[in-house]
Amino acid sequence: MLTYQHVGTYGVTRTKWLSGISDLEILSIGGRTLLFATTEFRGGGLSSYTIPASGELLRPADTRPFLPEFTYQQEPDISLLNMNGGTFIHHSHLGGAEHLGIRVTETGKLGEFTPILAGTGIDAPISSLGQYDSPAGSFLYLAHRDELDIAIHEMDARGRPAQPASHSHLSIDAPTGSSLDKIIETHAGEGRFLVAISALGDFISTYRISNSGEIAHKALHVAAMGTGYAVPTDIKAVHVEDRSYVIVAAAGSSSLTVFQLLADGKLKPTDHVLDEGYTAFQAVTSLETATIDGRTFVFAGGVDDGFSVFTLQPDGRLLHLRTLADRDDMTLADISDIEAKVIDGKIVLFISSATETGITQLVFDPGKIGWTGSTTTGRAVGTAENDMILGQPGTTTMLGGEGDDILIATSSNVKMFGGSGADIFVPANTSGRNLIKGFEPGVDHLDLSQLGMIRSLHQIDFQPRTGGIKLRFQDVTIDIITSDGRQLTEADFSNDLFPITHYNLPEIDITKPPLPPPVSTTLGQHVFGTSGADRLTGMGGPDMLVARESDDTLAGGSGNDSLHGNDGHDRLAGDDGDDLLLGGPGLDLLVAGLGNDSGFGGPDNDTLHGNAGHDSLMGENGRDHLDGGAGNDLLSGGLHDDRLIAGPGDDRLLGGDGNDTLLGIEGLNRLFGMHGDDRIVGGDDHDTIRAGTGDDAVFGKLGNDWITGDDGHDILHGNA
């Protein structure tokens, strides 16, 4: 059984360095393990910490503030690079820092910002950056913001990137402003691959690369193929047995999707799960994995104040283990990042929040890992440790033995014996009969989530059986015999039999037959979508695009357009003109484009970007993210806990109800927290800040600011 310990929450009073954390990274160097935390642009900057033994709280090492000339682009992201004879930390999405790095020592000492990419031909701004080593040398890979190109640079003898060894461009009809937001390196068979995700483009791309850095082949998987993800935000690669898997977290669909990465670079879906009542990764913001003795654990968190833990089965399916909710002594609200490190056979987890101060440190103990694998033999026998055995067709008996075992039967006529320990039995057959013997109520657990579309106890026919109970669901029969011969009833079970739902959506071949061209309007015409996932594109003139249910993509084109997303997780791009964007129900992404636009998110957790022009963005209900961009904008969060970012220009931000975060950035801004316990940060100029009711924290930053606290126990900082 996977147990956990809360080691502690570090730095709850270090508001300068540990408030508004945007990224965490772990580095092993010189026999030591270091943790780095970087804040949002208006926070303190970068801080480093040493990680001692698994059960000891991290210790501060050093800090490095951002330079005054840096400008906001997006939440800063850390990359660790080995170059110029040392280890450097690079920040993406930080204007003025694109060619700079911070040297770090084995003790966590942080140097000054120093040029590391200047003069290399690498342009700014960078959307994703990483490094890998091959028998031919060391290589840097990167992509730029608002582009779909990927470049690989070989490191020269001085440890600096030379001219690109390879360059590749994706030819795809993606919305303007799409980027390769995150790129990882992994292996499948004998091949080495880079795998990238694009949130606005809504796709995953793979690139097979040679040892010399040449891109030999590329493949593309788009959301329109029907797998179910929308707005991918994080990605990890893992290996189980001889298979390579890629796990994609998507905020728009609040989902985790698992793909097997094949030797030709294609992605084969193996599982797709959504955030539901027993999980906590709504609008998922962070994904992390850790592998111990061949067993992979997956951690996912979002905006619903907690995170969920899974293990990955050999067949690429996720098995839910537990969900942790936020507490007063943790920082699990609005999770911004999760980082994991295996130390002494345990998983040490570090979690940061976008709205709370500090870093929560947890230790997960999986016990002694035994056999993790699949079998097709008649009789499969586990070890004395914690085994995970996947019984495929041909298996007749599964013996877990001692330890906390996981037994998964994908075919019928299988007898499962857990033995001593807290075992998990997972019948995954769609027809036929299986037997579970030695079941200990209150100790062992039954997981029926892989039987198909099963959601409730009301779908199960419970029948009496001597020494246990019989369960029937559609064409499946499960006989359970207890370890002490006790007879069970329906009252011994609850809906925790179905912690998650697996959506096995058939993929759509988008090349055979070819997709029809996007529906385009002429001047002033209206277009209405269907009940499917539509792509509606306007042209010149005042177009009206109206989607229906499903996850739709709408692009207004030039002209003053009206875009209506309605139901589903929609993506609306206004493009040129003064546009009206209405998200509707679902987790929507609204990108206003050029012109003076108006955007309304709707009842769920939406993301709204203003870009250029004097825009009005209304989050309405839900936990929304609003970014005004350039221009004199009006941003209103509405209900719940929202995040509002002003951008360049003289902006007006209204937090509304909920515990909101307001960031002024640049210009003569007016920031009003209104109701709730808000965090308000001014910008470079002379801001007017009114906290409103609630216990608020206000930071004026630069300029001659006017700050009013109003009702509540407020903390007011004028700063410089």
Q: What is the pLDDT of residue 515?
A: 40
Given strand 203-209, what is the order of strands in its sheet? 182-188, 191-198, 203-209, 215-222
Q: Which of 640, 629, 646 is nearest to 601 (CA)?
A: 640
Q: How confident is the model at residue 507 (pLDDT cuts 50, 70, 90)?
A: low
The residue that leads in pLDDT, 508 or 678, is 678
pLDDT over 90 percentage in the chain: 55
* pLDDT score, position 679: 86
Q: Quick one: average pLDDT of 29-53?
A: 91
**pLDDT exceeds cutoff 80 at 719:** no
Tokens of 117: 């990419």
Of the pLDDT bands very low, low, confident and very high (cuts 50, 70, 90), residue 720 is low
How much is the average pLDDT of 264-282?
93
Whose tokens are 């001597």? That residue is 466
Q: How many CA atoms, within 13 angstroms, populate the side-chain half-sphere of residue 413?
A: 5
Quick check: 521 pLDDT over 60? no
| C-alpha to C-alpha distance for 414 and 427, rounded to whole angstroms | 9
Record the pTM.
0.75
For residues 576 and 558, give the distance between their C-alpha atoms in angstroms, rounded to a whole number. Answer: 4
Q: What is the per-residue DSSP string for 256-276? A: EEEEEE-TTS-EEEEEEEE--
User: What pLDDT sits at residue 509?
Assistant: 53
User: Span 90-101, mean pLDDT?
Assistant: 92
Cα–Cα distance for residue pair 214/562, rounded to 1 Å: 45
The count of other CB atoms within 10 Å of the CB of residue 184 is: 18
What was the pLDDT predicted at 561? 83
CA dist., res. 445 & res. 406, Å (int): 9
**8 has which bridge partners?**
361
Strand ranges of the sheet holding 379-381, from the earlier edge strand across to the other edge: 379-381, 397-399, 415-417, 432-439, 476-482, 468-473, 461-465
* CA dihedral sign of residues 160, 233, 247, 194: negative
φ/ψ of 496, rounded to 5, equals -75, 0
Q: What is the pLDDT of residue 514?
A: 40
Pair 680, 699: CB distance under 8 Å: yes
pLDDT digits (tens, 9 = 90+) for 582-611: 888 888 888 888 888 888 888 888 888 888
Burial grade of 459 (CB within 10 A; 0-12, 13-18, 19 or more): middle
Highest mean pLDDT among 334-343, 448-457, 508-517, 531-540: 334-343
Residues 567/549, Cβ–Cβ less than 8 Å: yes
Which tokens go with 111?
């140097």
* pLDDT number for residue 55: 85
Torsion, CA 628, CA 629, CA 630, CA 633, rounded to 10 = 0
Q: Are 139 and 97 in contact (CB under 8 A)?
A: no
Quick one: average pLDDT of 149-175?
A: 86
Q: Average pLDDT in the 58-62 region?
A: 97
How buried is 358 (Cβ within 10 angstroms: 0-12 exposed, 13-18 middle, 19+ buried)?
A: buried
- Which residue matches tokens 């003069």? 119
In this structure, the chain runs to a length of 720
Q: Are the C-beta atoms of 525 and 293 separated by less than 8 Å?
A: no
Is residue 668's pLDDT more than 90? Answer: no
- Distance between CA atoms of residues 579 and 109, nearest Å: 50
Q: Is the dihedral of CA 604, 605, 611, 617 positive or negative?
A: positive
Percentage of the chain beyond pLDDT 70 is: 96
pLDDT average, residue stretch 143-167: 88
Residues 55, 7 contacting (CB under 8 angstroms): yes
Contact 161, 140 (CB under 8 A): yes
Q: Which domains does the chain have, with CATH numbers?
A: 3-365 (2.130.10.10), 369-502 (2.150.10.10), 526-717 (no CATH)
Give the mean pLDDT of 214-231: 87
Q: Which residue has the tokens 């968190």?
A: 301
C-alpha–C-alpha distance, residues 270 and 319, integer Å: 13
d(CA 611, CA 560): 16
Residue 651 CA, chain-centre distance (Å), reads: 30
Cα–Cα distances (Å) from 544 to 536, 554, 575, 581, 597, in that order, read: 10, 10, 13, 10, 14
Q: Are 166 and 215 in contact (CB under 8 A)?
A: yes
User: Is the dihedral angle over the CA atoms 175, 201, 99, 110 positive or is it negative?
Assistant: positive
In SS3 terms, 332-353 reads as: CCCEEEEEEEEECCEEEEEEEE
pLDDT of residue 651: 87
The answer to which of 133-147, 206-220, 469-483, 521-535 has the lowest mean pLDDT is: 521-535
pLDDT at residue 342 in the model: 96
In sequence order, the β-bridge partners of residue 672 are 654, 690
Q: Could you please report the per-residue DSSP string of 480-549?
A: EEETT-----GGG--GGG-SS-B--PPPP-STTTTPPPPEE--TT-EEE--SS--EEE--SS--EEE--S
- The token pair that represents 367 in the structure block: 């016990």
Q: How far apart are CA 705 and CA 701, in angstroms?
A: 8
Say yes or no to pLDDT of 539 above 80: no
Whole-number pLDDT of residue 43? 67
In this model, does residue 618 exceed pLDDT 80? yes
pLDDT of residue 513: 39
Dihedral sign, Cα of residue 132, residue 136, residue 137, residue 142:
negative
Nearest one of 120, 119, 121, 167 to 147, comparing CA atoms: 167
pLDDT at 640: 84
Amino acid making up residue 215: I
CA distance 644 to 628: 8
Other beta carbons within 10 Å of 137: 14
The b/e string for 264-287 (b: 16+ C-beta within 10 A; e otherwise) is ebebebbbbbbbbebbbbbbbbbb
Range of lowest pLDDT (292-306, 504-518, 649-663): 504-518
Torsion of CA 46, 52, 57, 58, to 10 degrees: -10
**For the residues 283-311, what does the mean pLDDT come to?**
97
Is pLDDT of 528 > 90? no
Write down the pLDDT at residue 175: 86
Radius of gyration of the chain (CA): 26
Please provide the DSSP assignment of 644-664 as one string.
Answer: EE--SS--EEE--SSS-EEEE
Average pLDDT over residues 365-382: 94
